[in-house]
Amino acid sequence: MNDKKNRIILFCLSCLAYLTIGFHFSIRSSIAGDLANVFGRVDAAHSSEMVGAALGVCFLGYAITMFFISPLIDAIGMGLLMRLSGILLILGTAVVIATEAMMPDSLYAGIWGGMLLVGLGWGLVDTITNPLVAAMYPDDKVHKLNVIHAWWPAGIVLGGLTGIVMGSWDVAWQIKLAVTAVPAIALIVLCFMAKFPLTERVTMGVSFGDMFKELIRRPMFWIWFVVMMFTATSELAPGQWVDMTLTRTVGMRGIWILIYISGLMFVLRHFAGSLVHKLSAAGLMWFSCLFAAGGLLWLSVASNPVGGFLAATVWGAGVCFMWPTMLATVNERYPKTGALGMGLLGSGATLAIYFFLPLMGKVYDSSKIETAGGEESFMTLSGEGLDEVLAIASQESFRIVAILPAVLLVVFGLIWFYDSKRRKLEPAKRVEAS
């Protein structure tokens, strides 16, 4: 197989990989209410916190694979790991589906364990694909990573529409989840058709030990590590929560807003290269945080479909570029950290979401109980009274997330200012040297 054909196959495989995990993410969001009903049979007052923990454990699995597997990619092989990702996605989904029938006395543990396996498979996709694209396009990382990651929201759109159609047919949530195995199987099959390259770190001649030493020599990397935790949480935590919460506040299914946002992201990510050229990566991230914070605050007060879509447009435009631009920017600044550096960024980010999603659920539960006047009063609510209490709780859960991108405005503002000053000084230094 010639290099050009192999690169096309690898590019298509990378797109399919992100479509697969985006599809699963969206279907998980669409069944959050179903899971709340399942957990409600165990603990109705804290069912939202349990849903947050069950959905959030996917991010824990993601963090585990990115942290432990990233430095071992070349030793194990990208092809084998990509096939394993598809297998884990299918296996974890099967466990979640079978739990209610086979483990009725351990509902939470069974669903939690299945979602953990899904997260491990999800993490392998990002663990492999990011260094794969960096190796194929070393001089165009920001643009290519944004294009590849555009297929994540494409998967969310496909999954959201699939969930809505199947929901209109009154299909059980287990069947909805089972459909996610289809793109996962296609991913496994396509892996056998490609030849995977070595990572950029290996082609640069950077040893395994030097990759670790680079992390010690470059302490600013860890600032970016913390920043990545904030940006990822601003994007992904609300995305996993919108169907269950916004449905209560804007007068329509929240999944439609998630579909709309994802379609917007799919289009906008193809323009990341041009925007970075005009603004710089730090400048693009500053504007991203500004829109993300404003959009989340707006979502917390939106009370009708028009307001919901307008707020979602602002938030979606903000979070659109965050994940791939952060990965590409840090890799360009610290290329010798290789797949390990990318893996650490991803694992830190998803670990933050793992802890934050249950926090959103806890805020939601605390707010609904407080608004109702206590746990006993909440248990007696029904009809419009219950809907009103849950709507207030939904708004509060979004408001807390808006703090994260607001804080990052200061961080990216300083980085943007520093980079601008440095670029102005470089021409003068070159003149002096000549």
Residue 374 dihedral angles phi and psi, to the nearest 5°:
125, 160
Radius of gyration of the chain from its Cα atoms, rounded to whole angstroms: 22
Position of tokens 């209410």? 33
The pLDDT tens digits for 12-43 are 999 999 999 999 988 988 888 888 888 888 78
Single pTM value for the model: 0.80
Position of tokens 């991203």? 288
The 8-class DSSP code of residue 140 comes to: -
C-alpha 343/C-alpha 128 separation (Å) is 9
Position of tokens 């939106």? 302
Q: 6: which residues sit within 8 A by CB, 6+ positions away?
A: 194, 195
Mean pLDDT of the chain: 87
Show the tokens assigned to 356: 């934050």
What does the DSSP assignment read for 322-339?
HHHHHHHHHHHHSGGGHH
C-alpha 302/C-alpha 254 separation (Å) is 12
Contact present, 291 and 318 (Cβ < 8 Å) = yes
Confidence of residue 428 (pLDDT cuts 50, 70, 90): very low
The pLDDT tens digits for 162-211 are 988 998 888 999 999 999 999 999 999 999 988 998 887 888 888 888 88
Show the tokens assigned to 263: 């379609």
Distance of CA 363 to the CA centre of its chain: 21
Count of beta carbons in the 10 Å neighbourhood of residue 428 = 9
Q: Domain spanning 3-433: which CATH class is it, in words?
A: mainly alpha
C-alpha 346/C-alpha 230 separation (Å) is 12
C-alpha 431/C-alpha 420 separation (Å) is 18
Q: Is 97 exposed, middle or buried (0-12, 13-18, 19+ CB in 10 A)?
A: buried
C-alpha 134/C-alpha 142 separation (Å) is 9
C-alpha 121/C-alpha 115 separation (Å) is 10
Contact present, 289 and 281 (Cβ < 8 Å) = no
The pLDDT tens digits for 344-370 are 998 888 888 888 877 777 887 888 888
Per the document, the length of the chain is 434
Helical (H) or strand (E) element with 33: helix 32-43
Contact present, 108 and 42 (Cβ < 8 Å) = yes
The pLDDT score that the predictor gives to residue 241 is: 65
Q: Which amino acid is at 84?
A: L
The pLDDT tens digits for 221-280 are 999 999 999 998 888 778 766 766 677 778 787 778 888 888 999 999 999 989 998 999
